[in-house]
Amino acid sequence: MDFSGTVLSAGEWAVPVVFAVVLHEIAHGYAALCFGDTTARDMKRLSLNPLRHVDPVGTVLFPLILILTSSPFVFGWAKPVPVNFARLRHPKKDMVWVALAGPAMNLFQALCAFFVLSVCKNVLHTGLPIEIQRFLLNIIVLNLSVMTFNLIPVLPMDGGRIVTGLLPLKWAVRFAKTERYGFGIIAFLLILLPVLGNYIGRDLDIVSRFLAITVQNLASFFVGFFGLGEKESIMGIGFFQLLIILLIVLVLFGRGKLPALAEDLGKSVSAFKKGLNGDKEEEKKEAPKEENKTAENDQPKKE
């Protein structure tokens, strides 16, 4: 492979990796901002500038090593966006939404790539250049991988944050204390355990294989859903309108519009109920006044 081909091949992987991890972190920051924490915004981490988010090891080197070694599972990380959970309006409940925002952004990117491939095949009936196809497939694989990896229910991963927010307070406090051991547990399961397995001649890479199988099953499901397989397409043109609505909802959620809309709707309903109660009270107050006036009119006038 010549130099230009090598650069192109590296770009086909590097660009999806950067966007997968950077947008993942930005989503966390925006979700925190929607629920009251301005830490990420104040530290200028809500930026598309990758230099503000890229971790040289986690974003570039580690995924590249996994790719070059033909690992069954590719993942990486960026510099975590700072979130002060104490500044959230409802820390325990809002923590779940902040943690979910990152994996949801990865799923959104993967769905966008699936959508482009599906439109080209099922609507436009045209093929894309092989380089663009590989680029879109890399977006799908990497984003599904990052999403699945981050949903591991171990602190400080997003999955651990979600579990903490869902557990009863007593158990949540106990589970939160395991965060100090989180990276050690992940390193043991993903690195040390497979090395030990190779040393004793056994396949102990259980977690990586489980994650790889999960990603493959997710990809297979969406391939069928978007009508990209060899079998008959299960996605008719009617589903495209539904998908567009879904994408709009995801975008609105990422921009914090849905929580604001829900809050405004709640205020409107409360105001409406209050207005109804106020009207009823005024009617009750006016009724005795009318009765008094009627009684006064019925009394004989003194000449």
Known catalytic residues are 25
Helical H segments across 35-69, by residue range? 39-42, 62-68
Amino acid at position 17, single letter = V
Half-sphere exposure of 263 (CA within 13 A, CB side): 8
Rounded Cα distance, 182 and 115, in Å: 36
The radius of gyration computed from the CA coordinates of the chain, to the nearest angstrom, equals 28
Contact 137, 215 (CB under 8 A): no
Contact 55, 77 (CB under 8 A): yes
Strands (E), 125-192: none
Rounded Cα distance, 218 and 216, in Å: 5
Contact 175, 186 (CB under 8 A): no
Comparing CA positions, the residue from 15, 20, 63, 23 lying closest to residue 45 is 23
Contact 94, 33 (CB under 8 A): no
What's the token pair of residue 111?
């769905």
**Backbone φ, ψ for residue 236 (5° rounding):** -85, 175
Comparing CA positions, the residue from 105, 116, 137 lying closest to residue 29 is 105
What's the token pair of residue 169?
């307070």
Q: CB within 8 A of 113, min separation 6: which ones? A: 136, 137, 139, 140, 143
